[in-house]
């Protein structure tokens, strides 16, 4: 009995742990699915050794086997057939279709009166995300991860605001750089992004240094992020003396324009597949019913023996 209980708990733990500690690559490894299948197979062999296989006890064994089978199936299917985990990144104010969630995620604008909480639109239902905890939606566990982004402003020498666009010339939805690229400086892999200033005929590359990397580069104690601006002409040719590094939020004149870069934390959406919750729940209910029926049969047998 103790061995069967240990095997049952091990099977449950191998699947339920994927909800409590998601986003672990080993769940997608084939050997992990083999482990779940092996635990289920051992459980079946153990249950076949029981001599009491009639009446309520037979039904209880069948229910427990069925429940364990559902749980094992959910865990194996998630490991072998579920898509890989993904991170949804979008600019503020963007409505991003996310097919795994069967809806559209609305990323909030960066304002002083907002908590930067994305929402998921499924039909007419508006589901808030990132409320400080993970949320299970369908067969996925979803939560927010803060990312470093840089909000930029640009002015000409007369302090007139310049329009910020993508390097291709199309307008940004928001002057917030998502820093999706990586660039190596002094053996440090750093996030960067690029924007254009068509009116000034300039293309600007922005490299972000968190406080740790800024301290390494400057060989000094730095407790704030830093931003490096590199300004090119409209053809992408570097300008002379047009590279400056400043602390976040500090205005700087470089390459004939004035620039301000402010480091912000903006949410990205982490989407991780988990075993189908309804299947796992069905398995747990079946196991619970089987155990209750087994306890009742044992109680009835003992009562008949006493009588």
pLDDT in tens, 204-223: 999 999 999 988 887 767 77
CB atoms within 10 A of CB 29: 13
CB 151 within 8 A of CB 109: no
Encoded tokens for 163: 């329009």
Write the Ramachandran bin of 229: left for phi over 0, alpha for psi from -120 to 50, otherwise beta. Answer: beta
* Distance (Å, whole) CA 117 – CA 179: 20
H or E segment to which residue 211 belongs: helix 211-218
Q: At what angle do helices 30-48 and 2-20 cross, to 10 degrees?
A: 150
Q: pLDDT value at position 170?
A: 63
E strand spans, 101-168:
103-106, 119-122, 125-128, 135-137, 140-155
At residue 193, does pLDDT exceed 90? yes
pTM attached to this predicted model: 0.85
Q: pLDDT value at position 43?
A: 86
* Distance (Å, whole) CA 162 – CA 145: 31
* Distance (Å, whole) CA 8 – CA 65: 10
Q: CA torsion sign, 162 to 168 to 174 to 177? A: negative
* Distance (Å, whole) CA 307 – CA 301: 10
Q: Where are the domains of the chain?
A: 2-82+274-306, 87-138+140-270
Q: pLDDT value at position 273?
A: 96
């Amino acid at each position: 009995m103790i061995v069967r209980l240990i095997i049952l708990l091990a099977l449950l733990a191998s699947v339920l742990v994927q909800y409590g500690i998601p986003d672990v690559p080993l769940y997608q490894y084939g050997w992990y699915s083999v482990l779940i299948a092996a635990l289920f197979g051992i459980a079946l062999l153990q249950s076949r050794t029981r001599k009491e296989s009639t009446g309520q006890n037979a039904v209880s064994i069948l229910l427990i086997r069925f429940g364990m089978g559902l749980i094992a199936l959910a865990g194996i299917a998630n490991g072998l057939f579920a898509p890989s985990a993904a991170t949804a990144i979008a600019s503020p104010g963007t409505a991003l279709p996310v097919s795994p969630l069967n809806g559209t995620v609305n990323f909030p604008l960066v304002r002083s009166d907002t908590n930067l909480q994305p929402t998921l639109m499924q039909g007419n239902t508006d589901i808030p995300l990132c409320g400080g905890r993970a949320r299970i939606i369908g067969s996925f566990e979803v939560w927010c991860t803060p990312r470093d982004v840089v909000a930029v402003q640009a002015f000409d020498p007369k302090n007139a605001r310049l329009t910020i666009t993508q390097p291709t010339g199309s307008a940004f939805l928001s002057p917030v750089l998502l820093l999706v690229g990586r660039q190596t400086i002094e053996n440090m892999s750093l996030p960067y992004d690029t924007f254009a200033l068509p009116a000034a005929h300039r293309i600007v590359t922005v490299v972000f240094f968190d406080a740790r990397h800024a301290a390494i580069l400057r060989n000094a104690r730095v407790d704030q992020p830093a931003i490096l601006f590199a300004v090119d002409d409209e053809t992408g040719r570097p300008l002379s003396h047009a590279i400056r590094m400043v602390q976040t939020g500090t205005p700087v004149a470089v390459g004939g324009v004035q620039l301000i870069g402010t480091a912000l934390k903006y949410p990205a959406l982490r989407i991780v597949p988990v075993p189908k919750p309804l299947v796992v729940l069905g398995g747990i209910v079946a196991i619970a019913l089987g155990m209750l029926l087994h306890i009742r049969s044992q109680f009835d047998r003992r009562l008949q023996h006493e009588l």
